[in-house]
Amino acid sequence: MKTLKDQLRHVRKQARPSVLPVFVAPPPPVVEADFRELMRDVKPLKQDGRVQHAMPRPKPRPLKQQGRQQHALTPQAEQALFAQMIGWFEPAHSISEHRNPGTAVNTIKKLRAGHWPVCAELDLHGLDRFAAHEQLTVFLHRARHQGQCVRVIHGKGLSSPGEPVLPKMVRAWLTHHPDVLAFCETRIEQGGSGAVLALLRRPHS
């Protein structure tokens, strides 16, 4: 019969691990080198005698710039400037007919033949280019709600002191107007080259 001491010796052997844990010692702390020690071989530069002047600080920007108030245009000056700018875009040649891309090819033929009845007419005789542009813009806006075809009489410019301007300008405006699909000169009995028939885009319902 085993004694208590022999039984405890057997239990001690089972509880003892076969491999003992390995303890790793922490690395030694890093000692930073002294700055003076690192820079002991550095030699200072020789003084060149130059003087560094301080840059002047920029002036604060005022809340209201007086220069802008001085350059403000009067209504008369603005109109004169506008008149000069319109002269830059004066076309060199007069266009006899025009059709927007996407419009049917036979639109000009049908327009000249009177396929669409004329719903409104505008006479620009005696107006300068500025008044004519204003009248034409308002006329096209209102005429869209009355029908599709309109007649614009701009004259042939035979009584103008110089080269006729209004016929070329009116046709150039119609070319770039978003609501004008096409236009062409009227027949001789309707004014010939002194007037145009314009086909307007239908208003959105």
| pLDDT tens digits, one per residue of 49-80 | 777 778 888 887 766 655 444 456 677 776 66
**Model confidence at 107, in pLDDT bands (50, 70, 90)?**
very high
Provide the β-strand partners of residue 49: none
Section 116-129 average pLDDT? 92
Could you tell me the pTM of the whole model?
Answer: 0.56
- Is domain 97-200 annotated with CATH 3.30.1370.110? yes
Average pLDDT, stretch 94-99?
Answer: 88
Pair type for strands 118-123 and 149-153: parallel
Q: What is the pLDDT of residue 65?
A: 54
Encoding tokens for residue 120?
């409104």
- Read off the pLDDT of each residue in 106-127 and give the average, rounded to a whole number: 93
Retrieve residue 74's tokens: 């009067």
Record the tokens describing residue 112, joined without a space: 């000249």
pLDDT, tens digit, for every residue of 161-175? 667 788 888 999 999
pLDDT of residue 67: 47
Whole-Å CA distances, 55 to 50, 52, 58, 94: 15, 9, 9, 62
The two three-digit tokens of residue 86, written as one number: 């319109």
* Helices 75-88 & 129-143 angle (0-180, nearest 10): 80
* CA neighbor of 151 nearest in space, from 112, 121, 130, 173: 121
Query: Average pLDDT of 131-135?
Result: 90
Confidence band of 199 (pLDDT split at 50, 70, 90): very high
The answer to whether residues 85 and 77 touch, using CB atoms and an 8 Å cutoff, is no
The number of beta carbons lying within 10 Å of the beta carbon of residue 65 is 10
